[in-house]
């Protein structure tokens, strides 16, 4: 049922939102140049690597994330329009509508065994951590919410998360980590070892 919901919603959204996707792509091309899409390998279910696609929000080249983030890119992030190309990832089966967000491949060896369980399901366009605080959460909090979702996933929980996602997007909550344009990099959990 989850996969059927993914296919139906992603296909319907791609059709209905095609004019918005096209206009966003055209403006991105005019404002930021090529490439319009940002493509990056990400780990999916069971750690299988796929290529995630988003609308590009930063200038290419060196420099801090804050310096490279464009005004148009900031708008795309605040409205989450940058995420729309991931509907294609959902249609292909790389992702689901709801699940832990796909993070960087380089984080894979840094997870604890418990945190690594976030890869027991397909990554999502939105997830429990996103509606609980998004980038305002610490990495440990995010992973706890991700694993909680893995253990409690259901059709009705997915519907609840989808509804809460719309609320979160409209309220523009937790878009950036405090004092930073993006989330700080994960370097491993800094929890003290038990004696």
99-113 pLDDT per residue, tens = 999 999 999 999 999
The reported pTM is 0.86
**Contact predicate 141/133, CB 8 Å:** yes
With 50 as the cut, is the pLDDT of residue 92 above it? yes
Q: How confident is the model at residue 171 (pLDDT cuts 50, 70, 90)?
A: confident
Q: What are phi and psi of 162, to 5 degrees?
A: -60, -45
Compute the C-alpha angle 159/164/116, nearest 5°. Answer: 75
């Amino acid at each position: 049922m989850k996969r059927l919901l993914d296919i139906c919603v992603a296909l319907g959204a791609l059709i209905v939102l095609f004019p918005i996707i096209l206009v966003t792509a055209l403006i991105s091309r005019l404002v930021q140049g090529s490439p319009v899409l940002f493509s990056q390998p990400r780990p999916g279910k069971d750690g299988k690597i796929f290529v995630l696609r988003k609308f590009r929000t930063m200038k290419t080249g060196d420099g801090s994330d804050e310096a490279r983030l464009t005004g148009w890119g900031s708008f795309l992030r605040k409205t989450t329009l940058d995420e729309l190309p991931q509907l294609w990832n959902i249609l292909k089966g790389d992702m689901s509508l709801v699940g832990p967000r796909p993070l960087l491949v380089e984080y894979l060896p840094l997870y604890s065994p418990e945190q690594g369980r976030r890869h027991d399901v397909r990554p999502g366009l939105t997830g429990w951590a996103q509606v609980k605080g998004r980038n305002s959460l610490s990495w440990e909090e995010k992973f706890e919410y991700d694993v909680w979702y893995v253990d409690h996933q259901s059709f009705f929980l997915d519907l609840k998360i989808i509804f809460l996602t719309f609320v979160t997007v409209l309220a523009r909550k937790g878009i950036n980590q405090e004092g930073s344009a993006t989330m700080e990099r994960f370097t491993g959990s800094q929890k003290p070892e038990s004696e």
